[in-house]
Structure 1
């Protein structure tokens, strides 16, 4: 039986309404859960990049990428395993301000986790942490006993270690 792994799917698209719904439908039909999704501009003007993280087999991810590429607005899609990408997530933690001064351990946690304080007010302060999911989960567990007022984490952002020929492909399209 084929091994289930984490894969990062990169989808280069035109920026059109309804595409996210169509792409997510491809996963729903196959009963594959999307662990995270991020959509942003890309290195190419007017081209969007979806970063979708899933846990599945290589056979399934290969089939999914093929289905995604059949969508009209999709220019090109790629998939990579974790060893083939450089990736991270970012999280924000909102915590009561009194803890920053009353609990010396909070300052140690921030320093040891290589986090940053991004804002401080009378009522709360906000810590930002970028890194791998495990690092963010560890920080969450360390801060939880002190009371986290709010927590949010981004989806994965990633770049492949190998060159993706999307820019060359688009230049050929234009000419």
Structure 2
């Protein structure tokens, strides 16, 4: 027999919004994995396709973290980064579920989640992350990266912006009540 107790509107709407955030993260994961698969299948390791005077598509493997941090490890870093990613994914899922109506906050978390899952898939499947976007100027090279890395970077920037906006709101509120 169904329970006829009224449920709070916030409680019943949360999963719907949570689902939208998950779908956004899934879109990033799909775009990331499709592009990585394309370049991994189309280029030889280290090969470059020149697109612009400052940009190439390339195929590189990164067993480390951002900017190849700890890439020289003996394989243990794969498991360290896997554990860190799983912890971050759990935390992000919890935050998305608890705060689904905070647009900028959840947008940032969704981008980070999509990127974290995209790179986690690579680590689990290949033991390294596939990178294919290479920006450079003259003899200066930015480390190669991928769609997941873009999601993480944009998400982090949006998270910082969200925190700055939150602090400003709190200052204005405190000033009004002072």
| TM-score (normalised: structure 1) | 0.21
The structure with the greater share of residues assigned to strand is 1
Higher helix share: 2
